[in-house]
Amino acid sequence: MSTYKLVCPHCHSRMRIRTSEGRHIFLRIAYLQCTTEACGWSVRAEFEMTHELSPSGMPNPGVYLPPAKGDVRKAALPDTAAVLAR
């Protein structure tokens, strides 16, 4: 399992989500803050689901995202060389 690490572009420390709010089924607004007190950078971010990479095994008829094109799907796949090197 992997977790996405939000990194401060100023000091390269971890960022934490202070609060967030759902705006739409596919959109969440988040307010982030750098964990380095001396830096203290804070920002508003938007996390949006834009394309479906693979269909759900338990589909909800009220949920629809356009399917991703081939290049987007390929970019989402793990790097084969990196996986084989493990």
Instruction: Indicate the residue type of 60.
Output: N
Name the band, by pLDDT with cuts 50, 70 and 90, for residue 77.
confident
Q: What is the DSSP secondary structure assignment for residue 77, as one 8-state letter?
A: S
Instruction: Indicate the residue type of 63.
Output: V
Q: Is the pLDDT of residue 2 over 70?
A: no
Secondary element (H or E) of residue 75: helix 70-76
Q: Is the pLDDT of residue 86 over 80?
A: no
Per-residue pLDDT tens over the stretch 26-42 = 999 999 999 999 999 99
Q: Is the pLDDT of residue 81 over 80?
A: no
d(CA 75, CA 41): 30
